[in-house]
Amino acid sequence: MRRKAGTGKGSRAVAASGPTPVSSTLTTPLSSAMPSTYTSEAEYDINDEVSKLPIGALSLGSPGRKLKREKQHPFRFLELPSELRLKVYDYHFATASDVLDLDYDNWKRIHHKLAILRVCRAIYREASYLFYSTHPVRIFPTTPGRFFKTKKPLLARMKPNQRQTLTSLELRLGPGWSSPPRGWVVNDALGLSDCVHVTKVTVFIECDPGSDFFKGFRQPDNFYERFSKALLISVLDEMPWVDRVEFDAWSTVKKSGALMRGLFEVVTSRGLRILWGKERGWTDAEEVEPTPTLNLNAPLLIQGSDRDIMVAA
């Protein structure tokens, strides 16, 4: 049996390789950019064409132009004038305490600030000098707790080169007036002899046990007055180069008290200059005692020979 022409395997293969005819009523007009091989919207995916475009053609600028990335240049801090660098250090340490002492908040306020000293040797010299020369150090700690009775104050924990940068120290008196801590002793371990640039010592009085308020609680024979006087003498003996002493106190301390008169005697006998702090507001003039006021509503006590007579005013 003979097969009809055009019905063999070869003819069927040729017919299968061509595009499938689609009715014109089912097609949608395509863009001129559409390849001729696609004849229907279902067979055409625009994402395929977008993925073939270069990345520069998708930008708003000129097609094919790559954006140039600017190179970041480091800020040369050490090329600034030294005056500006010192102002930067001063701003950096602005949150530190006015007076350095052993305190529980030192880790949050001071320790992380000192990390700048580890940048390089030049910054260490400049920043450490500004920090220690502008912040007085308390000779003996007054923070309540374990630091108050420590045998190693902050001054003794510092390095000799740090103590040599200091320009001011503070001696705070009043805490422990009934029983001063045993660590409040001037010795070689304290390191006062290394403070060669200290020219001012501030003596701050928190309370005067000699006042009538402490009567019945203070130790006899002016114990704390003698202790404070001897302590100031020991501090000044270790630093004979000190030329001025600043006195300051809380509002309850009187300049005419036994404690202050003893401290004044130590300073004047050495010919040192006396300065006055801002807290108490003392001046070179004599202290003016406030005039006592009479309360007319208070009862008046009249002492008689036989008995006390209370008379209402």
Question: Residue 223 burial (CB < 10 Å; 0-12/13-18/19+)?
Answer: middle
Whether 9 is in a domain gets the answer: no
Q: What is the pLDDT of residue 96?
A: 87
Q: What is the pLDDT of residue 55?
A: 59
User: Which residues of the chain have a pLDDT value below 50?
Assistant: 1, 6-17, 22-39, 292, 298, 300-313
140 and 280 inside one domain: yes
Q: Per-residue pLDDT tens for 110-137?
A: 888 999 999 999 999 999 999 999 999 9
251 and 236 inside one domain: yes
151 and 167 inside one domain: yes
124 and 234 inside one domain: no
Q: Which domain holds residue 208?
A: 136-285
Q: Per-residue pLDDT tens for 83-112?
A: 999 999 999 999 888 899 999 888 888 888
Residue 282: how many other CB atoms lie within 10 Å: 18
181 and 235 inside one domain: yes
168 and 253 inside one domain: yes
Q: What is the pLDDT of residue 194?
A: 97
Residue type, 131: F
Partners of residue 245 on adjacent β-strands: 201, 274
Q: Provide the domain count of the chain.
A: 2
Does residue 302 contact residue 308 with C-beta atoms inside 8 Å? Answer: yes
